[in-house]
Structure 1
């Protein structure tokens, strides 16, 4: 059990390092949101809609993405305008992973 847990945590750490290698705010935050949506912790899946509710705050996202909280708020606002995320104070952040994947794929990001 120890080795399994260690491997899971190591894979998660490697994925986070990969996410931090993205320079653009939208790409970095988008990749982090997709990562959080695919992990078991901090999420609630809505089967009918394909949406995922993430139990994170803007401050949590800022720390995980190595961004300022203000920059996270601005970037989430852009993603909200695109219809990819929805959030309200005191409620989980609702994410549409398929829409975010399409959004990130159609953007021309450079590393």
Structure 2
């Protein structure tokens, strides 16, 4: 007794689709494994086009320059960031960010109303 598959039966169609996807994936994976190089590739470090001697010299990173500026010249902003935002509590961070987002939404609504009234 033979069984003919019908694409109108959702269960049989689902089984056929997943079986064909699995077979395709397995075939492609085996082809990839057979064709990939067995040799480990070693590449030189990209040094922005500069010779190694220049890069070996000590220079501050961008992150260190940023935090140095913040700690020295923007102390109050730094204190606010550390004491209010960086407490580790997701709830406090969400309150801080949502208050700024609320101000931006109010400004956007006001600007839209002014634009509509002026136009």
When normalised by structure 1's length, the TM-score is 0.23
Higher relative contact order (CA 8 A, sep 6+): 1
Q: Flag the structure with larger Rg.
A: 2
Q: Which structure shows the bigger proportion of residues in helix conformation?
A: 2
